[in-house]
Structure 1
Amino acid sequence: MINMCIISGNDRAKKATKLLKHINELKVIGLSAGHSRLSENMRSPLDDELATSSEAIYFDQYNPSFDLIKKAIQRSNHLFFSSIPSFTESELKQLINLSAEAESRTQIFIPQIFSSVNLNQIKRSHSPFLANIRVALKPEVEEEKTLEHILLFLTFLDHSELRKVETMTIPGQDGYSVIEIRLAFTSGSVARILLSNQIEDTNCGIEIFRQGSVVLKFQSENFEPKQLVEAEKNAVEHFIQSIRKNNSYCVGLQHLDQACQILRILKLRINDNGNFFSEKRQAV
């Protein structure tokens, strides 16, 4: 049995509590709720107490401070993030080194990896591969967040270093119409990512082509609430197996570090002012 605490951005953490109580290998021993981006850098005595008494921490839709994560890893806590955490480049490097020393395990929940259908496909995938990814851009879609998930999916799937990045944008009347990104990895894998407000939902998805194998198709967005709950449960179960040093799939800080590096390059290539998309867009 693994003792786990919940640190949540929700006042009652209903979703996290409901999810975790149905996993037999876990025992929820405490809850610290009601955090927000305004309070994330304020150290809570309760957070410190929970981190000290638990083996693992579940961060529920909340971006915890670097200091809290650093202290937790130094105590050899294992960390589960239900959303992608935000750290600077230097902070990530430091946390990766500390995690290796403390043998602290990390899991970042990415639906594109842990949804049940996609998980079965991942078991059949290996590099090198050719990935073809199509994303429909809509007013409610956060482009940078969408790309973060895709890049974490790719860095998890490939297990090698980035070799080359190419980008192209085609402006439309009301801003860009198409953004194409090509990534080449040292393994020989290549990924083509096409984002456009002219792509229909039915044409979205991820295709993985490999030599001597049928194409693997992955759902990339528009997950139903039931699918997301099941996917997160899968991610927690793999996290538990990782803690026990059994075979498992985990999206760790090293994957986040590489995805963030790629995202920084894309920002520079597409937009010199550092914002991912601005009012004026042009081909590069």
Structure 2
Amino acid sequence: MRKIPVFEVIRYAYRFAFGEFGTILRLTWFPALVFFAVSVVVALITAGSFDPSSPNIGSILLSFVVMAAVSLFVSATIAVSLHRMILFGDSRVGENISFRIGPTELKFVGASILLGLIAIAVAFALSLASIPFAIPFAAATGASFGLFTLTIVMYVVAGLLLARLLLVYPHIVAEEKIDLRGAWQATKGNAMRMFGVIALGMVPFIILSLLAPFILALIFPSEPDSFSPATMLPDLILNYFLFILSTAIWVPLLCYSYKALRDIGPYEYLDESGTSPAVIRPDGE
């Protein structure tokens, strides 16, 4: 049974994210721009029609549905292009405006919805299972500490279960099918390692995303109550690049884990010309 080399995967993921950022930006700038343009328009429309005394629940729900749908499709087109770059060496040379919605992207959207439903089901099941232990545990350790500890345990258990399914995304690109069973079997004996790849791999990005707004505020100070397109612009630009960077990190974390489990080197690629993908060595052998 192959084991995922956690820190090696993280190292290659960040090397890809920053070493190939020019190519990543070329492939992702337009779909990311579409997402942020739609989000700004929806936010302005919602804010303009919002009445605190009688909020329009239908309008709020419609805004949520629109943003969720746009986010799913934009994330899919970005993620598929980066998956293909890592798994097949396909950087779409000469393509400066990339926004594709094809069968693979639609499978990504379907898989994301399916994983979301599974996450809700797992959270609900764990909540029900924890009820018999919650009250006595809280009473024995102190209500706040006990419930906090129990919540953390539930999150970790849910994370371990879902981590085993995340390789469904590389499976979609490599094998053109939503294969939850294949993703689950591929990570057998690697649940902790897969969880570690995601948890530890995203820590530097999380730290960066937390520090960046403070750094931005020092560079572009503004009045606390000021609200205008000019004051919003630095924040929008920052969030735009953080959105691209987050995808440029989580995608290679999954792809290099997938490669490790298939015994494919980080700089080796799959051959999509046959019915069963074969490895192409860098030297063509």
TM-score range for the pair, normalised by the shorter chain length:
under 0.3
Larger-gyration structure (1/2): 2
- Normalised to the residue count of structure 1, the TM-score between the two structures is 0.24
- Greater relative contact order (Cα < 8 A, sep 6+): 2
Give the TM-score, by structure 2 length. 0.24
More helix by percentage: 2
